[in-house]
Structure 1
């Protein structure tokens, strides 16, 4: 793993982060057949003044992997450019990168790039025994933790309260999606810098689909 990760090359963040922050509440859940990311849509200035009510905080980073981010918008944009470029370089030399490899490199980018963002990464590996969903929590210092479900952002505690009372990681894709969306909505009710609807990403062996829901 170590020698292969070196193929991603050096870190180049490409831009200066802006002061526009995403709030925020983001949630990830891995089920038995797939994974789900959910995020609110509100952006604010300095975590106080609402500046945008339709920000998409979930972006695909591979055919079957995506990230949800909290922090500055500029930092998230620079991070996404860097991760996608390093993934493409890796896959040209080694073939498709696993979700674990993408998460590990994402953590290194965060640690070395100074992007000012926190991440949840979810994806699905396709193996001989079928699809294997995975969720990784990546903190602003670059720490990477594999987990069955996670929340991040200003609404973290509220979202965890909702998740821990209802999450069933062995549930159907529809059930884990409902749980993830419910956790974001529960946090948005009490967190002033979260809200304005939910973006949900569905990850399966077939790929990533992203939708805005009320």
Structure 2
């Protein structure tokens, strides 16, 4: 599903050029579950932004679902982001003035999906994520765990093949964080490709694959060991 060859991303900070990514080679198959770990500044979020077509590499090649992304128009990149990729972030990025239901349905509204289909998809996700009693609430009236469930529902409502989660439990307590990870893993078990950036080694160890980054490079990569 994902193929990155020689992926690099440089940033200009004043007179200094900083390498956010430095020559990464990476293959991720459909249905994989990978945790990306490493210290702050190691390139984790930069990698996720490139995989999610929010940014482009300064050098190297990136193929998504067999499609070379280097020469894509911005319209095509936006189409792929909308229909193929879901995003979950640490800070939720919910719209404060919208209700839970309106936040979940927003990607479908922007994509021009009709009301009947919007209602069907959102109702299924609301029921699955235990948000039925909160659909008329606004984000300020929700707990952190509830806000993240809304964010996951919004990410899934376009039925993506790939979900990118950047520190999805960073603002949650341990119990709420474990519940969010369990939900993501349940979705992965149904065939969703899942890539999670996390600082929590115990949560990262739950993934099938772990990618450890340092200074924009892959420091180590390992499959998940069988648990006793």
Normalising by structure 1, we get a TM-score of: 0.30
Which structure has more strand as a fraction of its residues?
A: 1
Normalising by structure 2, we get a TM-score of: 0.29
